[in-house]
Each structure stands twice: as C-alpha cells, then as structure tokens.
A = this chain, B = another copy of it.
Amino acid sequence: MNRGLMAALLVGAACLAVPATGQGGDDTNRIIDEGYNRSQVMQTAQEMTDGIGPRLTNSPAMRRAEAWAIGKFEGWGLSNVRRDGFEFGRGWEILSVSARMVAPRPLALTAIPIAWTPSTNGPVTAPIIVAPMSKEEHFAEWKGKLAGKIVLVSLPGDGDEPDKPAFRRLSGDDIGKLDEFRQPKYDPDALNRRLERVTFAEKLDAFLKAEGAVAMVRESYRDGKLVHGEGYNYRVGHSPTLPGIELAAEDYRRLARLAKSGAPPQLEIDSNVRYDDSDTRAYNIIAEIPGTDPKAGYVMAGAHFDSWVAGDGATDNGAGSAVVMEAARIIRKLGIRPKRTIRFVLWSAEEQGLLGSLAYVDKYLAARPGPTEGEDGNALYYGWPSRYPITPKPGYGDLKAYFNMDNGSGKLRGIYAEGNVGAVPILQSWLAPFASMGAGKVVAGPTSGTDHVYMQSVGVPGFQFIQDPLDYGSRTHHSNADTFDHLKADDLRQASVVMAGMLVTAANSDKTLPRFPVPTQPTPYNPFKYKDPND
C-alpha cells in the first residue's frame, strides 16, 4: 500500500467499525479482582526504586533496570519482550559527592553533581565568586575574574512562600477546569528554548574552562534543601569539561550573601562521578500480549523508565512504569486474548527530551525530513517536531490508541482527550466502569511534556491520564525526595486496574478512536505549548 492511500484511509479510521470479540465486563471484573486483591505493583515499584535506585538514561543502573524489566516481563509470560535501541550518548553515574564551606566557618552543604559533568578527581578547595550568567552577553562582565574560582552562576533568588498545600488531590471543580477545548496556537520559540538549554550550557562550560575556573555551582530551584541535578549535555564529545554541582537554595543563597558582606567563602567540593561509554545507544523496553486478529492493529501503554539521579525515580516515573508493568502482568495472568495486540513500552531518555518515544515514532510511525539519526548535532532532537511534511510509515495506522502515565503516584482521575473532542464519547464509555473509582472523567484539554506528545504531533491518538497531583509538583518531581515512600499503594493499585481495563477495552472495542488528518503544521497537540497542571 502506498503511503498516500494509507494516509487517506487513516483520516477515515474512526469510521472503520470492527465487530467486538472481547469478553467485556467479565474481563473488567477479573482485572479488578486481580489488581486489587493480588496486586504486585508495590513490589514491582520497590524492586525498581529501593533495589535498583535512580535510572539515568544509559547509566549502569539503567542497564541493570533494563535487564530486570525484561526478566519481569518474561517471567510473567509476556511475548516479544525486547530492547529497542536508538542512538543517545554517554552513560554516567554518581559514586559520591561532598561539598562544604571551610571558611569563614565550617558548614556542610547539600549538593548533587549536575548530570554528565566530570569528576573533581578528589577534593578541590577554592574561593567562590558569584557571577550570574544566563546568556552569552553576560560573559563579558566576568572575563578575567574567574581564574582559580568556584563560580556560582545562578542569580540568587528569594525564599519561596508556598501558598498551596504540598499534598493535594483534585476536586471535581479542579477537573472541570481541564474540560475546555483550546484553539490551536503555536509557540514557535518553545523548541528554541529547549535547544538553548543545551547550547548555552555548552558555551558556559567552554567560557568557564577558558577562564580557568575550578568548578561551576548553580542554585536549586526549590527551597527546603531539595536538590535535583538535571543536565542535558550527554552527547559523546559534548559533555561538560568542568565539574558542576547544584547546591540547595538555602546553601547557595547563604554563600552569595556571605560573599557580598565579607571575604569570599572557601568551598571544598569532591564530586566523584564516572562515565560509561561502552554502549551509547539507549533502549526502550517492549513487551506484548498478542492479539487474535493480526489485521486489527494494536493498542499501547507506556511510561518512561528513565529518571534523574537525585532520588530513586519513584514518582517520576517508577510509578508509571510499575503501573504499565502491573497492567501487563494482570492481563497476562488472566489469560485474556484481546482482538488487538496490546503493547507495553518502558521508554528511555524521556528526561532528556522524550527521546525514546521520539525514536519509536521515527522508526515505526512517521518520518519527518531533516537530520537523520546518525547525524551529529542537537538538531535531530530539538528540530524534529517542527519539520514538515510528515510522511506516515506502514505501521502508522496500526496504532489505534496510546495511553501514557507520567504524573507521579496519584490515582487516575480520568483522561485528557487532548483536543480530540471526537474521541470524548468513546473514551467516556471505555472509562465508565471506573467512574466509581474516581477515574471516569474525560476532559477536552491537553497536557504535555511526556511521551504521548510526539505521537500526537504526527496525528496518532495518544493520551495521558489525569492524576491526583499529591506532592509531585511541590517536592518529589526530579528531587532527592523522590523515593518509594512517596508512592501511594491505594493509588497505584487503582491506576493499574484502570490502565489494564482501558487497554483490554480498547483492544477489543468495535470502535476505534477518531484521528486528526496527518498534520501539515503544528497542531493542538503541540508538545511544548501547555503547562502541566502538576507544575
């Protein structure tokens, strides 16, 4: 079938009714029984977070996690369990870190190495200089002043005054506000800002190195001694040359004040990290429950498996990963044979720009012009979503629905229709059995920032669930507090049941979801437009 024909057919996909062959309510009740009475979701989450710990893309711990996940899927009897690789960059891990002020008074500081920065190779001691730089234009002011210094590059902020509860569940009103169609509106600079994050970091590193600085220090963006350590310069040949750490906001601001009121404080930093370039490819983990009708296509659930390194990647996104795995376990355990194949994917490199799901789209769903995978440069990742035309691949129409989970541990409250209002009635009917569990609401509004958006950007119906925020936005997201004990068992059991139920229903449904035409310009699904309600 040529692509033009396929694309034309796909536009009308919503009209292609397929007779029901599934077990309907019976399956749903069996899923509820298995998912609530014999749940393994917390056990799975604990092995992943307490046991393996943080899973930075391509880190040694992520390699262990990949092997563990494959073992789990295989142990549960899933089919076609495999790693699906794509070019990424360096592996990196933290062995230990310490930072302390040694003058004017001894003081332990809360610090984390910034991802993909190099070791200090033992403790380094130097005076600080506060030299806020967020644009290249700022470099001139500090030229000639940084040699031998530990450079504090953030503009010291003020203490925050959080006026909302740190832990929160959504009211009906909160959810109601999400139920609003928004007219397509493109923010052309959004992608540039993402690219700038990477390229400015490289320029700053080069400038500091050329000036003879000893190390770079930035301020945490959260108060209350939380640190994060995100870094984006992971490509081989492009990782930072200078050690870099993030300090707790309280510690950073104290240093900045002391530097202003007296002799510059002296710090001792010991950042002990290690690169691993043995395999520069990252891997999505895929597992399946084969459908009975090879021509009926497939439905898919996914969550990103990679995390940042400050905590154990529990709410971001051990939660979603464990729920996707538990949904797979439940469906397989019950021996359900759906009409359509159900595919489960644990994405890698989401935290660096949704790169695992991008690779999947690029490989299986639709091609966009421009740099190819092997090509050097940031343009592949950051230019990709804005390049047209989109050329559907043979598998484009096979993916009938994608369900993503990546908003922490909070229970599912419904689903974002993402502007696809034609899908609302079908999604509503699919969620109806779970309304009494609090998950029944379908809202027109969109969400963004995770692995369904690149599917949306080529016109594939991909959806993210609405979740209770809990303390995801306020403190666990990316932070050193992102540990297993911020996961809520009741919520994750509910999410697993709803996820499994939705997948089986979608896989057996005689209706498929309506699709938009293949986009010829940025769509309401633009991944960089909308603010996450948890942020």
Contact = CB atoms under 8 A, between A and B. Distances in A.
Interface of A: 46, 50-53, 61, 94-98, 100, 104-108, 110, 158-168, 223-226, 249-250, 253-254, 257-258, 261-262, 311-312, 470-471, 475, 479-481, 483-486
15 contacts: A46-B257, A50-B258, A51-B262, A94-B106, A96-B106, A96-B108, A97-B108, A110-B225, A161-B470, A163-B168, A165-B166, A225-B225, A225-B481, A250-B481, A254-B485
Contacts of A253: 483-485
A169 to B, nearest CB: 9
A471 B225 CA distance: 14
B160 A105 contact: no
A484 B226 CA distance: 17
Nearest to A409: B159
Nearest to A167: B161
B161 A471 contact: yes
Contacts of A162: 165-167, 471
A61 B106 CA distance: 11
Contacts of A254: 50, 312, 483-485
A257 B484 contact: yes
A483 B223 CA distance: 11
A475 B223 CA distance: 10
A158 to B, nearest CB: 7
Contact of A100 (B52, B96, B226, B250): B96
A520 to B, nearest CB: 46
Q: How many identical chains are in the complex? A: 2
A495 to B, nearest CB: 17
B46 A261 contact: yes
B165 A164 contact: yes
Contacts of A485: 158-159, 249-250, 253-254, 257
A258 B486 CA distance: 16
A44 to B, nearest CB: 13
Given A100-B96, A108-B96, A258-B50, A223 B481 contact: yes
Nearest to A64: B105
A409 to B, nearest CB: 10
A128 to B, nearest CB: 14
Given A96-B100, A162-B166, A162-B167, 5 more contacts: A110-B480, A166-B224, A225-B479, A250-B480, A250-B485
A162 B311 CA distance: 20
A106 B262 CA distance: 38
Contacts of A61: 105
Nearest to A255: B50
A250 B165 contact: no
A397 B178 CA distance: 66
A470 B311 CA distance: 27
Nearest to A223: B481
Given A161-B470, A261-B50, A480 B225 contact: yes
A239 B98 CA distance: 29
A225 B228 CA distance: 12
Contacts of A167: 160-163
A253 B166 CA distance: 20
Contacts of A107: 53
Nearest to A112: B108
Contacts of A486: 159, 223, 250
Nearest to A262: B51
Nearest to A476: B224
B481 A224 contact: yes
A106 B110 contact: no
Contacts of A165: 162-166
A107 B51 CA distance: 12
B250 A311 contact: yes
A36 B108 CA distance: 35
**Most-contacted residue by chain B among A98, A250, A481, A484 (CB, 10 A):** A250
Nearest to A107: B53
A102 to B, nearest CB: 10
Contact of A226 (B108, B224, B262): B224
A105 B95 CA distance: 10
A107 to B, nearest CB: 7
A311 to B, nearest CB: 7
A100 B224 CA distance: 21
A515 to B, nearest CB: 40
A72 to B, nearest CB: 16
Nearest to A93: B106
